[in-house]
Chains A and B, each alone.
Chain A
Amino acid sequence: MKKKGWKILLTVCSVIYVATLAVVVIALINNQKMIGEWRTIYNFEPDPKSKISPEAQNAALKKKIKSYQPKGVYIMIDSAENKYYLKEGDRILKEGLVSTGSGEILVDPSGKRTWVFDTPKGEFFVKSKIQNPYWVKPDWAFIEEGEPIPRRMEDRVEGGVLGDYALGFGNGYFLHGTLYTRLLGRNVTHGCVRFGDEDLEAVFKASKIGTKIYIY
């Protein structure tokens, strides 16, 4: 009697187990079928009325995309790795470490203004080239130091802190030099991109007004 009870229990368990297994297998098959659609659903049929062959259209599209790429020298800045690349086509002319934005936030004690010290990302171009630049300290520099904001322009000007060259790319952002070369490779700036002296000279000499800058 006891044996029979065990037998029934074992049979019921086996049936439930096999049924579950069957559902899982069917579900897996169904899943594979659905996944298979990822490969086939967007298959396009050639248009018989089209005068251009798909191959020619492919080449034309690639050419059109390439036409948007910069001609000549351009600068790429990787803000995550704090690296720069001076490139021409696919060729890298020079590369090295830079410092980019710290991502910190500063709020004016009056609460009216907020600054986020990020390096802007996207496509830019060199708008100005300056030798022996002077830094005109913006309001945030004084607020950060806890100093009163000067009224006279002369009190804002500081020389020798931006290195020998600066390349402006809009909205007060510059590629410039630094005295803190040991911090190259780290995110420490207020949004500008700091270069080592040698790299800055190479970038300054290679670029002209209009040279493209890609920051990502």
Chain B
Amino acid sequence: MGKIVFKAQKQDRRRKKLVVVLCAGLIFCFLGGLLPSVSGQANKAQARNSSKSLEPAQQKEKVLPKGHQKEYRSSTDSSGDHPPIKAILKENRFLEEELSLARNPKYYFVIDIKDRKIELRARGMILKSWTASQIRYSGRPVPLKVTTLSQKSALNPPERRMIKPGEGDTASRPEPVPSGDDKKGNRDKKQDKTAAQEPASSSENFELQALEITDMPGNYELIFDNGLEIAVRSENEKGQKLRRLKENISWYIFQPVKNLLSKNKNLNPKMILYFEDMRQAQGIYWAFIDNIQGIVWLP
């Protein structure tokens, strides 16, 4: 009797153990899908300090926090992979590429994966800068060479309005026509000027048909000539949480399995840039004109 009871207890324990293992596996899978992994993407907490796009006024004053600088230095000094001399050599390679772009009058972009920064530069000067809250990357590494944007793809790309002749939009008309040199005309012009110069109150909402930054998409793909695909995502857009969950499962489970089972080992590089502020994603869509050149690098 005692033996039977003991056996039953043992079986119960085994079952419990199995249930625990299965549950642990499930939790592991879900956590893998939901939580950011250590490598292959940048730290989100660091980005919070500088999540908003920097105006040129702020750019010069924006200095990396001490902790961050320390972390960078220690990572270059302590790890065997990146001794300072190698980091300098890599930076030199980057500077050589940047030099070829700075020679031209066109503006170009630089994506610094480590600092999660996307910069618009001209002649080596930073015109505008955006900081992603998170950057993910996979596939074969991006060559440290100048690349060209070959395609912008969005679900709802912005559309330009066609002006019908004779139905010119008053707001976008070049300027009001002064009525002449006579006194009445001058008075009219003055009145017109006074009315026009009244500051627009914040509540006033001009319904312009013009193409503005707010018309740009917040979620889109940038495809480059070297095979690099960059997906830009804004986190505060509608339905983004569900989309993120779907993307996480794909990124951490389906994509690695697909890569493992794929015979083609030359997998195209893929990146996802996440922005907390949708305007930043829209700003990049605005600034990244067709055939814009730039460099993507990981210092």
Contact = CB atoms under 8 A, between A and B. Distances in A.
Interface in A125-157: 135, 137, 141, 143-146
B298 interface: yes
A171 interface: no
A54 B256 contact: no
A146 B166 contact: yes
A183 B170 CA distance: 11
Nearest to A40: B81
Categorize the interface residue count of chain A: 35 or more
Contacts of B252: 28
A45 B267 CA distance: 26
B287 A145 contact: no
Given A27-B257, A92-B57, A158-B175, A43 B81 contact: yes
Nearest to B198: A182
A187 B210 contact: yes
Contact of B18 (A14, A30, A46): A14
Interface string A33-68: 011111111111110000000110110011011101
B160 A105 contact: yes
Contacts of A160: 178, 189
A121 B57 contact: no
B39 A135 contact: no
A14 B176 CA distance: 78
Contacts of A58: 88, 91-92, 95
Interface stretch (B2-10, B65-73, B139-147, B236-244): B139-147
A122 interface: yes
Categorize the interface residue count of chain B: 35 or more
A54 B57 CA distance: 33
Contacts of A137: 174
Nearest to A35: B40
B35 interface: no
Contact of A116 (B160, B166, B282): B160
A42 B143 contact: yes
B256 A31 contact: yes
B13 to A, nearest CB: 15
Contacts, number: 256
B175 to A, nearest CB: 3
Nearest to A191: B174
Given A58-B91, A68-B124, A158-B175, A35 B257 contact: no
B165 A109 contact: yes
B60 interface: yes
Contacts of B143: 42
Given A35-B39, A42-B141, A189-B174, A61 B213 contact: no
- Most chain B Cβ neighbours within 10 Å, of A46, A68, A85, A145: A68
A137 B174 CA distance: 9
B200 interface: yes
Given A34-B259, A35-B138, A69-B124, A179 B32 contact: no
A21 interface: yes
A107 B161 CA distance: 11
B1 interface: no
A36 B39 contact: yes
A55 B86 CA distance: 11
B182 interface: no
24 contacts: A14-B18, A34-B138, A35-B137, A35-B138, A42-B144, A43-B89, A43-B90, A58-B95, A61-B96, A69-B125, A78-B127, A80-B213, A80-B282, A85-B56, A102-B209, A104-B160, A104-B169, A104-B210, A105-B160, A161-B176, A178-B196, A181-B199, A182-B198, A216-B127
Interface of A: 10, 14, 17-18, 21, 23-24, 26-28, 30-32, 34-46, 54-55, 57-58, 61-62, 64-66, 68-70, 76, 78-81, 83, 85, 87, 90-92, 95, 102-109, 116-117, 121-123, 135, 137, 141, 143-146, 158-162, 178-183, 186-190, 192, 214, 216
Interface of B: 18, 22, 25, 28-29, 32, 37, 39-40, 55-57, 59-60, 81-82, 85-86, 88-93, 95-96, 98-99, 102-103, 105-107, 113, 120, 122-125, 127-128, 137-144, 160-163, 165-169, 171-178, 189, 192-193, 196-200, 204, 206, 208-213, 252-253, 255-257, 259-260, 267, 282-283, 286-287, 289, 298
Given A30-B256, A42-B298, 5 more contacts: A42-B93, A54-B92, A65-B124, A80-B286, A103-B161
